[in-house]
């Protein structure tokens, strides 16, 4: 693990600018010919040049490729063609998404020098829709972590306060959007790796229903839990990106055989009569200032016409324990392919066994090794039923309890993270304390349900707080309606100010 970073010259909290046009606005302007894609790309590349050395959101910045892609979009517009719904919009990709001919590292030494021969399906869909990829973002190695301190290339810093972590594992993607380096970003969420950093960085982050977005080309961590989703500055921007990347993919055997939902047009429908439940089990152990924001969010939805009450998902309290058996078990299987023979790092030994051992010892970081060992133990003879099998039974209970809750509520509400952004090193020496950062997000992964984190005010330290909205499988349309209402009612929003008479 890299040591905590030395603070750069300016360590004061530096929130992102809100003056940049949204992704929805940018795409509309580029398609109409009133704004060029090249202009948009240059503005974001300038922002990267100004602050990337302090933030370290990227492992690779693709400046030349982004300019060429922007020129191609502008050429289509000039020829009277429609470049697509993401025309000229900049997108940052988490560096565990395969990109043809471009290094894909998972922030691990073991993938040193590897350039995939194909693009992930989500990458293809973004490019086909006119999106401009500006770079590959930093992450906890193989997406294992909650702070982006586990990267082999050094940590990413929170744009609001560079002495604090951005969350993880998709910390680079969250920081890229928060710092204005890209309008949109893509992350992966196995136990909260999109939503938790979104909360800590004050942006929108969303995990779709399992199978709604293709995992083809996503480098696997835990295959029954992994899901790709969007980061954005606004709920509408996140909805736009999800519309582009969602839908059936025959290359992914877990892909739902349906087209993606229409979301952007539904955001203004409001929440009048919507049944909202605040999950009491996920309010336990949460910092008081975070809990206060969740209660205020519930009040905002009530003021917007929703029917708010308390909800219970009893088995959710076992989510963390079940997750840290299931996810490491699947990781120990998935990561067995990194052997120093076919691609990536190779550390020669006297025979094939010593080559395996030396390569993995040198290539994997401490957290990855810890989870591989946990998973291998859980799957070992004599312990499989007691650990992995029992965890899967708990997973079934969580699904049943969510199903029961959704008989009474349309969406559920909770904190996204139990705390605001914490200091570097504060939890890195205590794995359990770090794992507890995902206690509110893990249950949705185990159930396979969608969930979204929406910024809602700040904690006592002035750093962002995220509120999580959850919905049943394929409940994205109603979930986004609730998220949009939360955004309108958030402290500092124009809607909230109007409602308060200011």
pLDDT of residue 276: 98
Q: What is the mean pLDDT of each run of 10 residues along the chain (502 residues)?
A: 40 48 97 98 98 98 98 98 98 98 98 96 98 98 98 98 98 98 98 98 98 98 98 98 98 96 95 98 97 98 98 98 97 95 93 94 96 96 94 98 98 98 95 95 98 98 98 98 98 59 38
286 by DSSP, 3-state: which?
A: coil
| Tens digit of each residue's pLDDT (9 = 90 or more) over 72-81 | 999 999 999 9
Q: At residue 416, what are phi and psi to the nearest 5 degrees?
A: -85, -50
pLDDT of residue 498: 43
Q: Which residue has tokens 């909202």? A: 276
Which helix (H) or strand (E) element contains residue 479?
Answer: helix 476-489
pLDDT of residue 250: 98
Contact 445, 190 (CB under 8 A): yes
Contact 261, 246 (CB under 8 A): yes
pLDDT of residue 481: 98
Active site residues: 94, 169, 193
Distance CA 136, CA 116 (A): 13
**Long-range CB contacts (within 8 A, 24+) of 286-289:** 286/415, 286/418, 286/419, 286/440, 287/418, 287/419, 287/420, 287/459, 289/420, 289/459, 289/460, 289/461, 289/465
pLDDT of residue 7: 43
What pTM does this model have?
A: 0.94
Q: At what angle do helices 319-334 and 390-405 cross, to 10 degrees?
A: 130
> Residue 388: left if φ>0, alpha if ψ -120 to 50, beta else—which one?
alpha
171 burial level (CB within 10 Å; 0-12, 13-18, 19+): buried
pLDDT of residue 20: 81
Sheet with 90-94, strands from edge to edge, namely 58-61, 132-137, 90-94, 184-188, 228-232, 204-207, 451-458, 464-470, 411-415, 275-279, 307-311
CATH for 23-317+395-499, options being 3.30.950.10, 3.90.1300.10, 3.40.30.10, 3.40.50.2000: 3.90.1300.10
Beta strands in 72-171 (DSSP E): 90-94, 132-137
* 132-137 and 58-61 strand pairing: antiparallel
Q: Which residue has tokens 């582009």? A: 244
By C-alpha distance, which of 237, 159, 247, 253 is closest to 197? 159
Distance CA 408, CA 288 (A): 27
Beta strands in 147-262 (DSSP E): 184-188, 204-207, 228-232
Residue 345 has, within 13 A of its CA and on its CB side, a CA count of 20
pLDDT of residue 494: 61
Distance CA 37, CA 410 (A): 39
221 by DSSP, 3-state: which?
A: coil
Maximum Cα–Cα distance for the chain, whole Å?
A: 76
By C-alpha distance, which of 229, 249, 257, 256 is closest to 241? 229
> Residue 366: left if φ>0, alpha if ψ -120 to 50, beta else—which one?
alpha
Distance CA 132, CA 193 (A): 23
């Amino acid at each position: 693990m890299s040591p905590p970073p030395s603070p750069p010259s300016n360590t004061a909290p530096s929130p992102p600018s809100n003056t940049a046009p949204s992704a929805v606005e940018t795409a509309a302007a580029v398609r109409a010919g009133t704004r060029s894609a090249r202009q948009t790309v240059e503005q974001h590349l300038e922002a990267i040049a100004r602050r990337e050395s302090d933030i370290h959101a990227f492992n690779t910045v693709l400046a030349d490729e982004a300019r060429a892609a922007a020129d191609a979009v502008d050429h289509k517009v000039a020829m009277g063609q429609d470049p697509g719904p993401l025309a000229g919009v900049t997108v940052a990709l988490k560096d565990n998404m395969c990109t043809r001919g471009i290094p894909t590292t998972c922030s691990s030494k073991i993938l040193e020098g590897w350039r995939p021969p194909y693009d992930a399906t989500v990458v293809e869909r973004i490019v086909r829709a006119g999106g401009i990829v500006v770079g590959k973002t930093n992450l906890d190695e193989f997406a294992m972590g909650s702070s982006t301190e586990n990267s082999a290339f050094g940590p990413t810093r929170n744009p609001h306060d560079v002495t604090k972590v951005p969350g993880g594992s998709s910390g680079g993607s969250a920081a890229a959007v928060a710092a204005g380096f890209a309008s949109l970003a893509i992350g992966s969420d196995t136990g909260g790796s999109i939503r938790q950093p979104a909360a800590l960085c004050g942006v929108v982050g969303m995990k779709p229903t399992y199978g709604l977005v293709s995992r083809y080309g996503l480098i696997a961590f835990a295959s029954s839990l992994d899901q790709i989703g969007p980061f954005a500055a606004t709920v509408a921007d996140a909805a736009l990106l999800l519309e582009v990347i969602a839908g059936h993919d025959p290359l992914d055997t877990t892909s739902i055989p349906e087209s993606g939902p229409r979301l952007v047009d539904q955001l203004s429908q409001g929440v009048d009569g919507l049944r909202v439940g605040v999950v009491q089990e996920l309010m336990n152990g949460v910092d008081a200032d975070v809990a206060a924001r969740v209660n205020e969010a519930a009040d905002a939805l009530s003021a917007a016409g929703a029917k708010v009450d308390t909800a219970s998902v009893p088995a959710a309290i076992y989510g963390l324990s079940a997750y840290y058996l299931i996810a490491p078990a699947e990781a120990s299987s998935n990561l067995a392919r990194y052997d120093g023979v076919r691609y990536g790092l190779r550390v020669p030994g006297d025979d094939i066994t010593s080559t395996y051992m030396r390569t993995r010892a040198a290539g994997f970081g401490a957290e990855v090794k810890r989870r591989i060992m946990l998973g291998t133990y859980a799957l070992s003879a004599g312990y499989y039923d007691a650990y992995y099998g029992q965890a899967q039974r708990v997973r079934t209970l969580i699904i049943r309890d969510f199903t029961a809750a959704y008989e009474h509520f349309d969406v559920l509400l909770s904190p996204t993270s139990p705390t605001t952004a914490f200091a570097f090193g504060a939890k890195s020496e205590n794995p359990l304390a770090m794992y507890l950062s995902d206690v509110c997000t893990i249950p949705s992964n185990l159930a396979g349900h969608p969930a979204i984190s929406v910024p809602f005010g700040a904690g006592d330290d002035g750093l962002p707080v995220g509120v999580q909205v959850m919905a049943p499988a394929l409940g994205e349309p109603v979930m986004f309606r609730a998220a949009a209402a939360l955004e309108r009612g958030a402290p500092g929003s124009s809607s909230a100010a109007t409602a308060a008479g200011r």
